[in-house]
Amino acid sequence: MNPSSATDLSNKCHLLRSLHRPGAPLLLPNAWDVATARAVVAAGFSVVATTSFGVAAALGFDDHENAPPEEMLAAARRIAQGVDVPVTVDAEAGYGMEPRELVEALRDVGAAGCNLEESDHRAGTLRDPAVHAEWLRSVRLAATEIDYPLVINARIDVFLRGYLAGADPATQRQSVPEALERASAYFEAGADCVYPIALGEPEALAHFMSEVRGPVNVTYLPQVRSLADLASLGVARVSWAAFLFHASIAHFESQLHSIKESAVGIPA
């Protein structure tokens, strides 16, 4: 990376980090290609975040590291090169890369930040928090060694499986202590922000926010009352994850259905 590019990326990292303000959350409507990233910027948002689900789907693969890493990273590079604002990349669980390899790959694609999740997709379990914290520490050290102020958003996945399975949201309250322990370990390891994805039950979210000690990213879920409520809790960052991707595909399918309906009676 040439000096001017390195300086530009460093500036974008510092800008991204500065926008994590508890109570005045950074809003991240997640994009999945250059067109959607440019739409995010045109709408006035100051940062682009990618969604691994959307990127993988657009490439023809399932989420959870089923897409070839080189294709996911190539897509991230196109997005980062296609906009002038900081881009934070959903790097899933790191694609099995060693910390130094992952950090260099993220720098080379122009990522100002990244999501790194604690799910072990091959085993179908969550990583031990102590082991994952050490891995995050190694990622931070690798970035520091090459003077790359990468913004690390450490995803906490203890609420996700229940959410996807349609469990009673009230059960989230039981997982808050574990999520707080993981958050503490990840902040101590050098994460800039933690992301308890799918945490949305009001009491559980309020409990988590009252005790966590650092910036928090939450998902804008259907049951969330308003962005103002999230701001009042001290949330620093709000993501839309794959929801906008799903909504876009649903709209496209609806338009296709309308076209098909309008073609009734026309000879094939």
CATH number at residue 77: 3.20.20.60
Residue 268 in domain: no
pLDDT-based confidence at 266, cuts 50/70/90?
confident
Q: What is the pLDDT of residue 268?
A: 67
Yes or no: say if 53 and 241 are a contact pair by the CB < 8 Å rule.
Answer: yes
Domain range spanning residue 216? Answer: 3-262
Residue 237 in domain: yes
Among the listed residues 200, 207, 205, 196, the one whose alpha carbon sits nearest the alpha carbon of residue 221:
200
Q: How many domains does the chain have?
A: 1
CB atoms within 10 A of CB 52: 27
Region 77-97 average pLDDT? 98
Express each pLDDT in 96-141 by its tens digit: 999 999 999 999 999 999 999 999 999 999 999 999 999 999 999 9
pLDDT-based confidence at 223, cuts 50/70/90?
confident
Residue identified by tokens 């958003």 is: 153
As a whole number of angstroms, the distance between CA 100 and CA 105 comes to 9
Strands 113-117, 87-90: pairing kind: parallel
> Residue 232, SS3?
helix
Yes or no: say if 80 and 64 are a contact pair by the CB < 8 Å rule.
Answer: no
**pLDDT tops 90 at residue 263:** no
Yes or no: say if 231 and 191 are a contact pair by the CB < 8 Å rule.
Answer: no
Strands 48-49, 87-90: pairing kind: parallel
Yes or no: say if 54 and 125 are a contact pair by the CB < 8 Å rule.
Answer: no
Region 213-228 average pLDDT? 92
Express each pLDDT in 151-204 by its tens digit: 999 999 999 999 999 999 999 999 999 999 999 999 999 999 999 999 999 999
